[in-house]
Amino acid sequence: MSQPTRIGVVTSGSLLEGLTARLDDHYDLEQLRVGQFVVVQGRQNRFFSMLTDVQLAATSPAILADPPGDDHPLLTEILAGRSTYGTFKITPQLMLPEDISLGLRPVKTIPAHFAPIYEASEDDFGLVFGAEDEGSFQMGRPLDMDVAVCLDLHRFVERSNGVFGKSGTGKSFLTRLLLCGVIKHKIASNLIFDMHSEYGWSGTTEDKSQEVKGLAQLFPGQVLIYSLDPESSRRRSAKFDGDITIGLDEIRVEDILLLQDALNLNATAAESAYICVERFGAAWISQLRAMDTDALKEFADSSGANIASISALRRKLAALDRLTFISRKATLSSINTMIDALLNGKSVVIEFGQYRDELAYMLVANILTRRIHELWVERTELFLASKRASDRPPQLMITIEEAHKFLNPTTARQTIFGIIARELRKYAVTLLVVDQRPSSIDNEVMSQLGSRITALLNDDKDIDAIFTGVSGSKGLKTVLAALDSRQQAMILGHAVPMPVVIRTRAYDAAFYKAMLAPGRGNSNGFAPALPISATQIQDDVDDLFPPD
């Protein structure tokens, strides 16, 4: 092993605020990178830390008041290191006691004065982020080294997670990577609401120069595509496995209220809608739409509804007519095959084709998710009663782009997505939310996210939102704001031992090859279930549903 390169020594700091260090004279200040992983060698512990800031300092303000000019390069050199020097800030994230067998632990103390700080070596990365193996997936490489940074996929799918970043920073690519990992390692079933047709069959890079393989191409037989607009899929010669229709009678008042903006509803719409439901039950929309002026008047008279607001609602619901995937009654066969696939550990991409607007996307995502969640709750309850491992539904991860539409502070309380985000992993369903405006997402939902994978964000509000519920995040904020605008991200949370900045793994020919290579487990669906003992199951149940 080569000698690690020393950067400097600790000079001050606290557990709460992080450490300040003085740069060694021989170390080039400009070589330091915010977000870099460094190691402090304490007397009894090694502290794995992140570099969060770089500063200039001088022993005396007088030198700064009278700086040497261009014609005195020698003077500048003499001052450097003695009177002028660099300092940097680091935040310790994990510590490793001398007795390595004790393993990595959370930081509970800090190193003493003048503890030396080194660049992290490949071994340090290996120790903290592991190598790619069963259940651990390489997301990228550190900023300045060629070693893998891996994510623990089992821990990842256990909670809801988020992928964030400004538009064009690589969110969809990061999401595709995560999905590939989860599918390749057979960790969970996935339901993906693919608003922009990027995930299922081939997409393109932003400049359209390069074809990007979709999940169904990388995992044939394991990923199915269901389309709401089969015509468009056919036109693009994109393969699909079925089309989906939604029945008018499946649309509930909550779904319509969620579409307040898209449908331009009045404040009175809710009341009118509930009056219709009271009279007509599930068929409320079709019955309301079928009424002529006289029928409407009679209905208003007999039900006490306001005629103006009920006719406005009727008129506005006409917007649903252009959605050809909505029919009076849904043909269930296709949705049932899709749900069976999910129950069997496969993944499903829902393609929207021409219906890329808010109205279609939210309606479909809400209705399908609600139905699937109901089924998962039912199955989990069955499992709780029987304690038979075979009754347990597989872990399901639901990916939604433009997540704030479902999870903003006003809607998060009503939508099924808000419920899933808040109920944690009880029913084995979690979310992967993808969004460019994390500040628009409800705080409570943000604080429940287990892992946050974030590309560049500029807006302070958005940066603050990423750290909702994360302590000691001050330094990390500067790191986030300093990411490159593309193919860099910070991973933070449950699925990594400590926050880390990566250069995102390239989604290229080498990656396709790695994904297409045979993996473990059987060829379809999940790896054969390990035999689970009754006590293990009971432990799991107690863990999820703690006895009062």
Ligand X SMILES: Nc1ncnc2c1ncn2[C@@H]1O[C@H](COP(=O)(O)OP(=O)(O)O)[C@@H](O)[C@H]1O
Which residues of this protein are in contact with ligand X, per CB under 6 A?
165, 167-173, 205-206, 486-487, 504, 506-507
Nearest to 311 by CA among 277, 282, 268, 280: 268
Cβ closer to ligand X: 168 or 221? 168
Q: Which amino acid is at 161?
A: N
Q: Please, which of residues 29-58 interact with Mg ion by CB under 5 A?
A: none
Give just the sign of the alpha carbon dihedral 299, 305, 308, 311.
negative
Interacting partner of 380 out of ligand X, Mg ion, none (Cβ under 5 to 8 A depending on kind): none
We find the least distance from the C-beta atom of residue 434 to ligand X, in angstroms, to be: 7
Cβ closer to Mg ion: 103 or 168? 168
Question: CB within 8 A of 10, min separation 6: which ones?
Answer: 19, 20, 21, 40, 110, 111, 112, 113, 114, 115, 117
Cβ closer to ligand X: 35 or 247? 35
Cβ closer to ligand X: 23 or 218? 218
We find the least distance from the C-beta atom of residue 358 to ligand X, in angstroms, to be: 17
Q: Please, which of residues 167-206 interact with Mg ion by CB under 5 A?
A: 171-172
We find the least distance from the C-beta atom of residue 486 to ligand X, in angstroms, to be: 5
Size of the site for Mg ion (CB under 5 A): 2
Nearest to 133 by CA among 181, 169, 99, 179: 181
Sequential DSSP letters for 315-341? HHGGGGGG-TTEESS--HHHHHHHHHH
Task: Put residue 518 in one of left, alpha, beta given phi > 0 → left and psi -120 to 50 → alpha.
Answer: beta
Q: What is the contact mask toward Mg ion in residues 388 to 427, using x (rule: CB under 5 A)?
A: ----------------------------------------
Interacting partner of 170 out of Mg ion, ligand X, none (Cβ under 5 to 8 A depending on kind): ligand X
Nearest to 465 by CA among 494, 496, 443: 443
**3-state DSSP of 203-230:** EECCCCCCEECCHHHHCCCCEEEEECCH
Q: What are phi and psi of 381, to 5 degrees?
A: -65, -35
Q: What is the contact mask toward Mg ion in residues 308 to 347, using x (rule: CB under 5 A)?
A: ----------------------------------------
Cβ closer to Mg ion: 206 or 378? 206
Q: Which amino acid is at 348?
A: V
We find the least distance from the C-beta atom of residue 163 to ligand X, in angstroms, to be: 8
We find the least distance from the C-beta atom of residue 169 to ligand X, in angstroms, to be: 5
Interacting partner of 504 out of ligand X, Mg ion, none (Cβ under 5 to 8 A depending on kind): ligand X
Cβ closer to ligand X: 103 or 168? 168
We find the least distance from the C-beta atom of residue 355 to ligand X, in angstroms, to be: 19
From CA 240, how far away is CA 202, in angstroms rounded? 12
Interacting partner of 287 out of Mg ion, ligand X, none (Cβ under 5 to 8 A depending on kind): none
Q: Which amino acid is at 465?
A: A
Answer yes or no: are the C-beta atoms of 203 and 197 closer than 8 Å: yes
Q: What is the contact mask toward Mg ion in residues 134 to 173, using x (rule: CB under 5 A)?
A: -------------------------------------xx-
Q: What are phi and psi of 143, to 5 degrees?
A: -60, -35
Interacting partner of 169 out of Mg ion, ligand X, none (Cβ under 5 to 8 A depending on kind): ligand X
Interacting partner of 486 out of ligand X, Mg ion, none (Cβ under 5 to 8 A depending on kind): ligand X
Answer yes or no: are the C-beta atoms of 496 and 152 closer than 8 Å: yes
Q: Are strands 45-58 and 84-97 parallel, antiparallel or unpaired?
A: antiparallel
Tokens of 473: 């995040």
We find the least distance from the C-beta atom of residue 373 to ligand X, in angstroms, to be: 26
Interacting partner of 473 out of ligand X, Mg ion, none (Cβ under 5 to 8 A depending on kind): none
We find the least distance from the C-beta atom of residue 8 to ligand X, in angstroms, to be: 33
Interacting partner of 131 out of ligand X, Mg ion, none (Cβ under 5 to 8 A depending on kind): none
- How large is the angle between the packed helices 269-280 and 307-316, nearest 10 degrees? 90
We find the least distance from the C-beta atom of residue 153 to ligand X, in angstroms, to be: 18
From CA 160, how far away is CA 544, in angstroms rounded? 15
We find the least distance from the C-beta atom of residue 142 to ligand X, in angstroms, to be: 15
DSSP three-state, residue 261: helix
Cβ closer to Mg ion: 8 or 203? 203
Cβ closer to ligand X: 174 or 313? 174
Which residues in this chain contact Mg ion in the complex, by CB under 5 A? 171-172
